Amino acid sequence: MGEYRHGRNPRYSKMRSILIINPNSTSQMTEGLKPLVDALQFKDTAHEYFTAPSGPKSINNEDDARESVDHCLPALRQALERHDGFLVACYSQHPLVPLLKEESVVKAARKPVTGIFEASVSTSLQVIHPDEKFGIVSTGKVWEDILSEATVAFLGTGSEASKRFAGVETTGLTATDLHDAPAEEVRKRMKDAVKRLLKKGSVGAICLGCAGMAGMDQMVREACIEELGEVDGQRVRVVDGVVAGVAWLEGAIRAGY
């Protein structure tokens, strides 16, 4: 059984409910998401959390993502009826997103499902100016090709939207390294990756390309200011996929999409 708080508190009986799914088995990463969600102050919505009961500690490639489905989906099926929307907190085109959409309970009620990758890319396109691009800062080098291909596929090959994608830069760290490695090493690698991305020119938004980067937006901001100066560095939008995903689900549920 995953780390899921079963049942709903009676005071939430008429509230909307969103389930935030961490498909890896590291509960520390799940805990790191909670302050971001709480800060949104959607007080009329209950936010509950699920951590994979077993499987990869960190999703470091597409094989890990596929493996995590087998560890998550059986336990998640017990929660589908109780929630109004679902966020998959893994920065990839995670197979749980389409699979959850096809679950009978979700499909029949048209409950919204998104991943933090999809939410952050969509949000970035809406917050940048027409002459700007967005990019992604992620973990291991393997994600450079994976996320680049996923972004182009999501936006549509050859579309005007895909031309606004600046690319992916990586830190060389895994998701667990972000919390376990020395803080100064993490900060240096994060900032170096951001600066490489900014050197590509006209970057107006940077996506945090890993759920383990939750709360690291200040490091990105510092790198933007160091590279571009105070005024231009403050103008760059730092997009956290967890925040973007929860906000989108809140709007979709309220609007009945």
pLDDT single digits (tens) 2-48: 544 433 333 334 589 999 999 999 999 999 999 999 999 999 999 99
pLDDT surpasses 70 at 51: yes
CATH topology of domain 117-240: Rossmann fold (3.40.50)
For 234, counting Cβ atoms within 10 Å of its Cβ (0-12 exposed, 13-18 middle, 19+ buried), the class is exposed
> What's the whole-number mean pLDDT along residues 212-220?
91
DSSP 8-state assignment for residue 12: G
Query: How many whole angstroms separate alpha carbon 79 and alpha carbon 82?
Result: 6
For 12, counting Cβ atoms within 10 Å of its Cβ (0-12 exposed, 13-18 middle, 19+ buried), the class is middle
pLDDT surpasses 60 at 135: yes
CA 228-231-234 angle, to 5 degrees, is 80
Query: How many whole angstroms separate alpha carbon 136 and alpha carbon 168?
Result: 5
pLDDT of residue 160: 80
Q: What is the mean pLDDT of the chain?
A: 92
Percent of the chain past pLDDT 90, that is, above it, reads: 85
Pick among 3.40.50.150, 3.40.50.1360, 3.40.50.12500, 3.40.47.10: CATH of 10-116+243-255: 3.40.50.12500
Query: How many whole angstroms separate alpha carbon 160 and alpha carbon 241?
Result: 22
Least confident of 107-121, 207-221, 232-246: 207-221
